[in-house]
Amino acid sequence: MSAAPLQEADTQGTPAAPAKTGLRRSMEARHLVMIGLGGVIGSGLFVSSGYTISQAGPLGAVIAYLIGAVVVYLVMACLSELAIAYPVSGAFHIYAARSIGPATGFTTAWLYWLTWAVALGSEFTAAGLLMQRWFPDVPVWIWCLVFASVLFSMNAISSRVFGESEFWFAMIKVAAVVGLIILGGAALLGFHPMASGDYPQLFENFSTSAGLFPNGFTGVLVTVLVVFFAFSGSELIGVAAGETTDPARNIPKAMRTTVLRLVIFFIGAIVVIAATIPYEKAGLDESPFVTVFSSIGVPYAADIMNFVVITALLSAGNSGLYSCARMLFSLADEGHAPKAFAKLTKRGIPLVALIVSIFGGLASLISSIVAPTTVYLVLTSVAGFATVAVWMSIVASHYFHRRAFVRNGGDLSTLPYKAPLFPLVPILAFVACLGSMVGIGFDPTQAPALYFGGAFTVACYLFFHFRYKKRGAAAVAASEPLGAEEDDAKVPAGVGA
């Protein structure tokens, strides 16, 4: 890296103390956990879970989310080892550039940046529409600007303010999920004093008139693709690695805690929802959380969940804006984006990158209004494709990183954390993600993600080749610190392509 703002690690693989200048290591394990949970627990659980149940059936939905949870664990295990080896902000770009090649790092960064830039526009629009329930006379675009201003301010002050705000955003969502599991579970066991009419007992809704899998097992396989996207956001912990105190201790702890809680929250919530709502009535018309709370008889259930979903959207937008800015910062620091993106404020915030990212979100918001079937369709398709593509980049980076580490004499016992069962874990994760990519082509509603996403990826590689081909040798040298004295202070010995 050129002019690295952080001293990343010493030559023994032990994270070094942070530099006095640059991005600040001010976030702790609890912030990382809530950033991971906050990035994942959103509309994919509060809204789209109804679609999953309607397509796969009650049992099929539970199986689909279990598959998603396993893949998330595999990806996060790989991510933990990489995040400690390269504790830098915008880490996906660094992992791929160092372990696979600079062109892959460049492409990964822009894919992930576009994912969240598009998501920002979607989150602002959806939150504005939900506010219409209470303020029907206020135009949606006013709320979009208000929310954009609030999130920008949170991110512009300091990384710790971002971490604290995301912590409390995520707490509200987690409280809603825990409430659903406890109250819904009690109701299924027969304790529902406020419910009106008959209430389903335990798993009686799992046995449908069309069998356990009403749309066949293919319905389960198709929804696995949706579930993968629903779990996206867990990798945000890797983005925040460069601003975390004691990465060697806090990152693995946060990864384990996040995966465990995701399994409990997602699987627990899906079991309760699937057991409560007949699959024929599940869908996207109403949040399944609203349906369950209303069935139990919780007063003002619709208003409560409207507030929770708005919070979920803002939480996702908060994490997305942070991620966008750090990706641009990382690209600029590597010399693959304008140098202005690498400039930091006195508080260690990449303000120019943050401004460009918020405008990127507003641009996607505008495109969702003026060109929803053309420009916005392309953007959202690429964003959906990029989620799984980034996971594939992470696990492939880990595979090559570990092989290079051992090949160059690295001692595995010196690693603060190492992913288990190598090389099985990265290979299984890569195959699962690749399978979901192939499956996209067989679902007409998701096929555009494969076409547009593939085209965007190829375009990134071509742009890198023609734009940076004269600097290719220098870029490759920067990505191969093996034995290079000038990079000994930046990466663990034995790490590289």
Domains and CATH numbers, the chain: 29-480 (1.20.1740.10)
Q: How far apart are CA 311 and CA 130, in angstroms?
A: 11
More confident residue, 208 or 242: 208
Q: Kindly tell me the number of DSSP H helices and DSSP E strands found in the chain.
A: 18, 0
CB 162 within 8 A of CB 318: yes
CB 184 within 8 A of CB 265: no
240 band by pLDDT with thresholds 50, 70 and 90: low
CB 165 within 8 A of CB 318: yes
CB 401 within 8 A of CB 82: yes
Encoded amino acid at 449, one letter: A
CB 102 within 8 A of CB 476: yes
- The pLDDT assigned to 7 comes to 37
30 band by pLDDT with thresholds 50, 70 and 90: low
- The pLDDT assigned to 39 comes to 65
Q: How far apart are CA 242 and CA 230, in angstroms?
A: 25
Q: How far apart are CA 203 and CA 193, in angstroms?
A: 19
% of the chain residues with pLDDT over 70: 80
* Residues 444-492: tens digit of each pLDDT: 777 788 888 889 999 999 999 888 765 544 444 444 433 333 333 333 3
20 band by pLDDT with thresholds 50, 70 and 90: very low
CB 61 within 8 A of CB 53: yes
Asked if pLDDT for residue 493 goes beyond 70, the answer is no
Region 31-42 average pLDDT: 67
Q: How far apart are CA 292 and CA 403, in angstroms?
A: 49
Which pair of tokens denotes residue 327?
């990706």
Listing DSSP states for 257-276 in one string gives: HHHHHHIIIIIHHHHHHHHH
* Residues 263-304: tens digit of each pLDDT: 888 889 999 998 888 877 776 567 788 888 888 888 888 888
More confident residue, 175 or 25: 175
For residue 139, CA distances in Å to 127, 145, 264 come to: 12, 11, 38
Q: How far apart are CA 308 and CA 215, in angstroms?
A: 31
Q: How far apart are CA 420 and CA 301, in angstroms?
A: 43
- The pLDDT assigned to 249 comes to 72
Asked if pLDDT for residue 6 goes beyond 60, the answer is no
CB 159 within 8 A of CB 24: yes
Asked if pLDDT for residue 14 goes beyond 50, the answer is no
* Residues 194-205: tens digit of each pLDDT: 877 778 888 888
- The pLDDT assigned to 47 comes to 72
Least trusted range by pLDDT, from 13-17, 73-77, 203-207, 458-462: 13-17
Asked if pLDDT for residue 83 goes beyond 90, the answer is no
- The pLDDT assigned to 475 comes to 45
Partners of 15 in the β-ladder: 9
Which of these, 386, 57, 365, lies nearest to 232 by C-alpha position?
386
- The pLDDT assigned to 321 comes to 86
CB 404 within 8 A of CB 495: yes
% of the chain residues with pLDDT over 90: 10
Asked if pLDDT for residue 114 goes beyond 80, the answer is yes
More confident residue, 2 or 356: 356
Encoded amino acid at 11, one letter: T
> For all residues of the chain together, what is the average pLDDT?
77
Cα angle 353, 114, 116; round to 5 = 80
Report the SS3 class of residue 239: helix
